[in-house]
Amino acid sequence: MFTSKSIFSILKQIIINISIFILLIIFLAFLSITISYLYYSFIKKEPTFGKDFIAFENKNWLIKYFQEVEKVKNLVYYDSYVAWKRLPFKGELINITEEGIRKTPQHHNLKEDAKTVYFLGGSTMWGLGSSDKQTIPAYFSKYSKGNFKTVNLAEPGYSSFQEYITLSIKLAKGGTPDLVIMYDGVNQAITLVKEFNQFSHFEEKSIKSALEIKKIQDLKNITYSNYFYSIINPISKLLEKIIKKNKEPLFDLNEQRVYESAIETIESWAMAKQIANSKGSKFIAILQPVSAIGKPKIDHLNLDENLIETYKLLYTEIKKLLKTEKYKDISKSVYNLSNIFNIDKYLYYDYCHTSHEGNKIVAKKIIEIVDKLK
């Protein structure tokens, strides 16, 4: 039987426990804010643009540029079938249209009968590291002397299969390009990440997590997992920097996985060519340059060996399959530019992105290829 004294003692203990829990929550929240402040104040400083950015002769504009990149990075929305797309953005160096595509300045003397070219690809074609006027599509328009109107349908992170879907949707909505150009190779590596599969994309984990939360309760309501993730996230970023050098290899490079990844790339090209041709459009697929292939000048970069091996195996498999009878037709439309940066000049600032000088080289080469199609 409980006495008034024992009941008071129990209530007192409950109050103490609740107080401790509340104080713990307040402490964790304060800790999150403190760590976030330290992270953004001392670790995530304005970029200094050291030796990795030796490819940029003028670095003064880069701070402003990457500030805009940081804003654009978070301006995404879910888009059916392709998973994500950019929201509109207006900046000094980066502009995204209402349709969600990177703005491309056209030749100053664009002809009335100029042909339309759709460019598809990932961040390299989108133009990461370049202003609107320095992307591959922009330089292509400039060098075409007003003969082509260019549309940049590339999206950072897209695989060749997502590009095929993007093209299908665009054509279904009435798009009528004269030429379609797909620029691929780099983003296919995502399909070789250990926990992913042949048709995975960069946002797969995020979407799966969101769907799991949806099963528990409506996403409009905050959950404990959401709350504590907001606390842990800054800590995770700090730990990531500490353990980065000791992480296990990211990619699964067994022969079957590499084969399947190469197949996805080529089949996406083949299907894109088929649908483009059905609308009266010509088609070109480009195996894009990457630092692991050929002999580009990359002594200024500290590249991951597992990543380098991944691209060597993947590109070798793609080129091998293109020589088979099965892919005889699509191989006629594929151009291998993986060695295009074999010159004595710094172009890369990471494993696949280059300064605008690299974009100039690619654009000029594409112009040469297109001229031969006439």
Cβ within 8 Å of residue 149, ≥6 positions away? 106, 110, 114, 115, 116, 117, 141
Q: Return the pLDDT at 204.
A: 81
Taking the CB of residue 184, how many other CB atoms lie within 10 A of it?
27
What is the DSSP annotation of 158-224? --HHHHHHHHHHHHHTT---SEEEEEESGGGGGGGBTT--TT--TTHHHHHHHHHHHHHS-TTS--H
Q: Show the tokens assigned to 218.
A: 């409506």
List phi, psi (to 5°) of 337.
-110, 20
What is the SS3 assignment for 100?
A: coil
- Nearest Cα to 284, choosing from 139, 156, 76, 125? 125
Largest CA distance in the chain: 98
- Nearest Cα to 119, choosing from 132, 138, 133? 138
Low-confidence ranges of the chain (pLDDT < 70): 1-7, 29, 32-48, 212-247, 374
Single-letter residue type at 20? I
pTM, full prediction: 0.80
- Determine which helix (DSSP H) or strand (DSSP E) holds 334, and give its type and residue range: strand 334-336
Q: Return the pLDDT at 234.
A: 46
Q: Show the tokens assigned to 222.
A: 């905050």
What is the SS3 assignment for 27?
A: helix
Q: Return the pLDDT at 237.
A: 46
Single-letter residue type at 100? G
Q: Return the pLDDT at 217.
A: 44
How far apart (Å, rounded) are the C-alpha atoms in residues 337 and 322?
A: 14
How far apart (Å, rounded) are the C-alpha atoms in residues 355 and 284?
A: 24
Q: Return the pLDDT at 49.
A: 75
How far apart (Å, rounded) are the C-alpha atoms in residues 201 and 206?
A: 10
Q: Return the pLDDT at 37.
A: 56
Q: Return the pLDDT at 50.
A: 79
Task: Classify strands 95-96 and 83-86 as parallel, antiparallel or unpaired.
Answer: unpaired
How far apart (Å, rounded) are the C-alpha atoms in residues 126 and 119?
A: 9
Only one residue has tokens 């200024």, namely 300
DSSP state of 299: T
Q: Return the pLDDT at 109.
A: 93
Beta bridge partners of 251: 193
Q: Return the pLDDT at 41.
A: 54
How far apart (Å, rounded) are the C-alpha atoms in residues 311 and 258?
A: 10
Q: Return the pLDDT at 4.
A: 65
List phi, psi (to 5°) of 283.
-140, 140
How far apart (Å, rounded) are the C-alpha atoms in residues 324 and 328?
A: 6
Contact call for residues 333 and 283 (beta carbons, < 8 A): yes
For the chain, first and last CA: distance in Å?
98
